Structure formats: C-alpha cells, structure tokens
Structure 1
Amino acid sequence: MKITGLNLDIVWKNKEKNFKVIENELHRQEADIFLLPEMFSTGFCMDASEVADKNYESLEFLQKMAKEKNAAFSGSAPVEEDGKFYNRMYFVHPDGNADFYDKRHLFSFSGEDKVYTPGKKRVIVNYKGFRILLQVCYDLRFPVFARNNDDYDMILYVANWPEKRVEAWEHLLKARAIENLCFVFGLNRIGTDGNNLFYQESSHCFFADGREISQKEGNLVKAELNLEELKDFRNHFQFLNDRDSFEIKL
C-alpha cells in the first residue's frame, strides 16, 4: 500500500484556490491513497456558516480527484447538513463511493464544540485489504476511542496542529502506533492560518514498533505499507491479547 500525504499550506477560506493547489501538487504523483489535512479546503475555521460546504463541494472535488488518479482520497472539510455543522473526514474510493467520519472530539480550546456537532460513531474503512480507522486531529489525545480491538490495521490522522504544541502531536502519533500494533499516518498542515497560528512540517508515518517509515519529498510525505510485515509482527508480539476492555459511550 502506497500512501502520499500533502503538507498543504491551506489558503484561508478559499476552496477554489486550495483545490487548484492540490491538483497542481499531485498532478504527477501516483499512490493508492492520497491524504489531505483537516479542513483542507478552508483551514480550521470556526466561521462555519460562511465556509461550510452546503452542496458537498469538497466531497465532489475528492470524488473527481479519486476517479482521475484511480486512487483513494481522504481529508476533512466543514459540512452543513440538516442545519448542523460537522468537521467531516471523507474517504473516497477510486470509483467515487465515499465513507465518512464526523470528528468525535471537538477542540473546546478553540470553541469548535460550540460551532460543530460531534460524531456519534467510530468509522473503519476497508480498502485493498487494509482496515483503516479514520481520525481527526484532537481525537489523537483520546487513546480509548482509538483502542485497537483487532478491528483495524492502520489509523489515518488528519490535522491542523500548531507548532506551539507539535511535541504532543509527534509523540502521540508514535504512541498510538506502538500501543495499537498498527500503522499510523498523521498528516498535518503547514504555513500560517487566518488566526495567525503557525504550523511546521510535522507529518509522519510510523510502524507498529514506533519506527518512522515515511520519506519527505518537498511538500509530499510518502510511505509504503506492508500488511504481511504487520501481521508477522503481531503474531510474534501478541500484546493486544492482554489489552483492557473499555466501553466507549457516544
């Protein structure tokens, strides 16, 4: 499985410009999955009534890209649906069919919980033999919600995680890989947003033992994942058999 993430300097509140940048950056790239940051079309914005997709613009863009590249595309966007706003992570398959996960843990420090509605379920996608857990930014701080019940092989995290707290982002990504015996690909944005928050390049892919397996090429982060290697590792180190059971209340 080949994954390519785009370290995107998101243009604040400008979907068309962001779509164009993404198209240009990925024009000559090939992968099984292309990953985009949290709120890739607008930036992490609390002006939901202004920026949220009302006609699934971001989804339609991902569907177009998925069909053109014959690959899966994933990233989150603000969406208005039935009078509510969601920070919605899409996973669009090459044929255009889409799974989605609404961010469960809303970032109260920024007031996200006052604007957006939390998701009510954990979402695992099946793609090319991999079982993939979808997660968004602040979800990373809550290990019980991401606990591996032998039901996934990889976690995809998309984020707008500022430089001032980047140590937590990088350490927790590695921790999730180790404790859940899985691949973890965490994609953060770069640049400065409309709130004057700076985001340094800090995207990574980790194997189940904590090793980094990604390479950086300009604004791209690439990793090749071997499912058989993961299965062999899990068979040898059967730590998940000793895990505690938790009840997640949604």
Structure 2
Amino acid sequence: MQDLKLSLIQTFITPDDPELNLAAYEPLLRRARGSDLVVLPEVFTTGFSASARNHAEVVGGRAYEWLARWARELDAVVTGSVVVRHGEQYSNRLIWMKPSGDYLQYDKRHLFRMAGEHKRYVGSSERLIVELKGWRILPMICYDLRFPVWSRNRNDYDMALYVANWPAARSLHWRRLLQARAIENLSYVVGVNRIGEDEKSQKYSGDSGIYGPDGETVLDLEDRNGCFTETVSAERLVNYRESFPAHLDADDFTLHLRR
C-alpha cells in the first residue's frame, strides 16, 4: 500500500443541464493533475432533481465517454455518480472510471424516500470494493451514509468514499456521520458534496472532507468552491490499526437485505 493522492471537486451544479455542468468541471479537473483519484459529487451532471431522469445517461454514453477522456488525460481514476437508464429502469449510479477506459459501477443502495427517490430509481443489492495503489476502497452514495450496517468494514476496505448532494439543513448530520464511519471502521473516510442552490432554492453547504481512521479531520473544505488535493498516509492507517485493533473484536453478522 502506498500513500494516495486525492482531489475533491466541490462546486456548483446547475439543475438539469448536463452539458453546462460537464463544461464547468473541466478547468477544475485540470487542477487535479498528478492525483491518483479525482472525486466528483453525486449526480454531478444534473443535481438531485426530480426531473433528472429526463437527462439520464446510457451505459457507455456521454458521461462515460467524458469520464474516460479525463481519466486518461489525468492518468487517474475519476469517479462520481450520474442518473443512468438501463432498459426500462433508472439508477443513481457511481462510475469508477480507470485511465484505461475500463470501469466499475455501484448503484445507490439506500434511496432517499423523503424526496421520492425510491419511486424513481432501483437500488443495488451488492457493495463494490475497488483497489487503487494497494488501497481497498468502498464507494457509496449520499443517503447510504446513514446506514452503518451497509458501511460496516468486514476487514475488506481501507477507505470509504461517499459522494453526495447533502443539504445544508442537515450539514451537522453529514459531518458527524462521516466522522463516525471513520472511527467505527478504523478507516479513512472521504465525503464529497456540492455547494450552491438547487431548482427548489435548497441550499448546499459543501463540507466535503477527509477523516482519518481515528476520526481526526485531515481536510475540511467548508463551503469553498474548487478542486482540493490532499495525500492520505498508508503508514498512518497501518500504525493506527496495529495500536488500536478494535476490528479484531467486531461481531460477525449476516446481512439480510430489505427489498
């Protein structure tokens, strides 16, 4: 395992305008050159809009091609979620795009019923673990953060990553839950949120950040706009787990998924 250089893209999202949003990200992505992993927010082409399905991507289409181009240009993994149509169904899907053009996908498991997301999309029944420079990374999406069983480290990851459109009204929850997931799972936790307002004038305060395995803040973006880069230490993770091996006393369990 080597140290990992991350770039977090925290910025505005224009509702339901994929072309404008993709163009707006490009100068920020150029500032991520030299990173191993570049992270965009949840539904980065449309924002968390009730009408986002009208602008849904298709597998292998525009958003996939755009991510592949930037992953290749930056020689880095580029990830974030978009609305994807597959057959007659839609998913809020995170795409993990590699510089080679190969990719992995994760569909948001927990759909935010308070905004009717569970009526518009289908969720995943499988977690995704990806590998990068020796790091095992668990990518998740927004509301997944509230469900610790789904995020539970089964000795299978070193970093949990959450992309989000998390409203400012619940920013306290966002910050506390990111920190809690780091502490309870003895892992780095990365959260990437948006800023600005949506079409309903709901505000987003950003608060993207990185937390160490002991819960300490590594990076806190507050409401800043831009591309922000930080290197996380593999040695710090290994040393902390060796000095405080609480994972050895974790309970075994079987997860029964709610349909």
Task: State the TM-score, normalized to the length of structure 1.
Answer: 0.96
Does residue 196 (structure 1) correspond to residue 206 (structure 2)? The answer is: no
Letter of the 1:225 counterpart: V
Structure 1 Cα separation of the partners of residues 109 and 212 of structure 2: 25
Query: How many angstroms does 1:54 deviate by?
Result: 2.9
Residues 221 and 29 of structure 1, relative CA distance in 2, 3 Å threshold: closer
Which moves more between the two structures, 25-34 or 82-91?
A: 25-34
- Measure how far apart 1:200 and its partner are: 0.8
Answering whether residue 232 of structure 2 is matched by residue 232 of structure 1, we say no
**1:1-250 map, 5 Å:** 1-30=4-33, 31-54=35-58, 56-214=61-219, 216=221, 218-250=225-257
Question: Is the partner of 2:110 in helix, strand or coil?
Answer: coil
Deviation at 1:46, TM superposition (A): 2.3
Deviation of 1:80 (Å): 0.2
Residue range with higher mean Cα deviation, 84-93 or 46-55: 46-55
> Structure 1: which amino acid aligns with 2:152?
R
Q: C-alpha deviations, 1:140-164, integer Å up to 9, x for none?
A: 0000001001100001100000000
Aligned CA distance change for structure 1 residues 66 and 21 (closer, same or farther; 3 Å): same
Which TM-score applies when normalising by structure 2? 0.93
**Is residue 213–residue 224 contact of structure 1 (8 Å, CA) maintained in 2?**
no
5+ residue gaps, structure 2, are none
CA separation in 2, counterparts of 1:93 and 1:84?
25
Higher relative contact order (CA 8 A, sep 6+): 2
Deviations 1:2-60 (A, max 9, x none): 10111120011111111111111222332111100000001012224412113532122
The one-letter code sitting in structure 2 at the alignment partner of 1:227 is A
Moved more, 225-234 or 207-216: 207-216
Work out the CA distance in 2 between the residues paired with 1:139 and 1:76. 13
1:214·1:223 contact (CA, 8 Å) conserved in 2? yes
**% same residue:** 40
Aligned pair count reads: 250
Separation of aligned partners in 1, 2:195 and 2:141 = 16
Residues in 1 aligned to 2:229 and 2:215: alpha-carbon distance in whole angstroms: 17
Instruction: Provide, for residues 87-106 of structure 1, a one-character-per-residue CA deviation record: whole Å limited to 9, x for no partner.
Output: 00111111111111000000
Q: Please say which of residues 122-131 and 42-51 is displaced more in the overlay.
A: 42-51
- The Cα of 1:247 is off from its aligned counterpart by 1.7
Instruction: Name the SS of the counterpart of 1:131 in structure 2.
Output: strand
Task: Report the CA distance between 1:248 and its aligned residue.
Answer: 1.6
The farther-off stretch of 22-31 and 215-224 is 215-224
Moved more, 210-219 or 146-155: 210-219
Q: Following superposition, which runs of at least 4 residues in structure 1 exceed 3 angstroms of deviation?
A: 215-218
Q: Could you tell me whether the CA contact under 8 Å between 1:215 and 1:221 is conserved in 2?
A: no
Contact 1:215 1:222 survives alignment (8 Å):
no
CA distance in 1, matches of 2:32, 2:220: 14
CA distance in 2, matches of 1:208, 1:101: 24
